[in-house]
Amino acid sequence: MEDTMIYLDNAATTPLDEKVFEAMLPYFKHEFGNPSSVHEAGRHARAALDKARQEIASTLNANPKEIVFTSGATESVNAVHKGVVLASNHKTKHVITSAIEHHCVLDCLEWLGRQGVAVTHLRPDPEGWIDPQAVQKAIRPGETVLISIMAANNEVGTIEPFGEIGKIAKDHGVLFHTDAVQAYGKIPIDVQKDHIDFLSMSAHKIYGPKGAGFFYQRQNVQLVPLVHGGGQERDLRGGTENVAGIVGMAEAAKLIFERSSDRNRLRTLTDAFWNQLKEVYPGVKLNGPRDSQKRVPGLLNITFPGVEGERLVQSLDALGFAVSSGAACAAGAAPPSHVLMAMGRSPAEAKQGLRISLGHSTTEQELQRLLEALPGAAAQRLVPVSFSDD
């Protein structure tokens, strides 16, 4: 990547922190043992996994035995959703989710739907917020086996009432999962206070390596393993653990919680940028909560009416800015955002979102340069589409 590139797509992935890289290096070279081996090299690797498990568990107020290492959030989501359904003895199985979940949740549930599982997709309000009362009303006694609502939305940043939803799930004897990929390290999460039974996470969203993740599973909650073989991870996820990646993930988790003060800085930068942008380009619209306290720090989704998001991304890329038009997993084909459509936007409007996501290295000067570039880039990309009133 060129040094001149201003990277503002941290919701898609984050650069590997130098301290994380240094923590991982020994496990690529000298500490290469298999953690399942009983000799000294294996014991060293096992000790590294145990330490990482403890460090990650402490960030969630969890027991280390409740942390299961995976290759990332997509695997974690599949393991939880499919594992819960397979473990349930309900004759009819029903799952509640939202229409704005990440595709790894929606696609997994679509597959389960083809296997006969009933799935309810709750729609959010126009700011992307899921009403806990709608969750409660959707519960089917004797049928609902899982409620899966993300902690924070990956496209518009809306912080969901996951603690309240977790309490509702607990009161009704239903298991609760939350996708915490965009929330972990950015907002407080306590699996005990928030009544969370399952939580999924990826390391590369917090300045850790790609290919490492975990899920939290509350003790005494049943789950049928998705990956068999070898007995690793308490028989819940077979396969030799990615020791270097897991060590890096734990180091990244430690660092992001040590830098908790950066959350306020990112929120202040985002608010200032949005207020200035409205002055420069009064027609710009915000997708997501108007109150920045209801969005994760550093994430802003905006629309320039009449400008397709992907075209604007391309124009800004040519000018040296990395931003996105939505979820990274959906980039390329540029379909309308399922999140924006669920929030009430038309298909044309749902193609006009632009996501700007800041990181801990983002500066005020970089945002000033983006502020100067955006109106001109948007003007060059005006397309004849209709845009209904909000």
Residue numbers annotated as active site: 329
Closest by alpha carbon to 212, among 230, 188, 187, 239? 239
CA-to-CA distance for 151 and 102, rounded, in angstroms?
A: 11
State whether the Cα torsion 45-48-50-52 is positive or negative. Answer: negative
Both tokens of 193, joined, read 């206070």
- What number of other Cβ atoms are within 10 A of residue 274's Cβ? 18
Residue with tokens 């009544």, as numbered in its chain: 195
Provide the H-helix boundaries in the chain.
18-28, 40-60, 73-87, 103-114, 132-138, 162-171, 243-258, 262-280, 309-318, 338-342, 364-380
Q: Name the amino acid, one letter, at 163.
A: G
CA-to-CA distance for 248 and 22, rounded, in angstroms?
A: 9
CA-to-CA distance for 45 and 50, rounded, in angstroms?
A: 9
Both tokens of 107, joined, read 């696609």
Contact 8, 269 (CB under 8 A): no
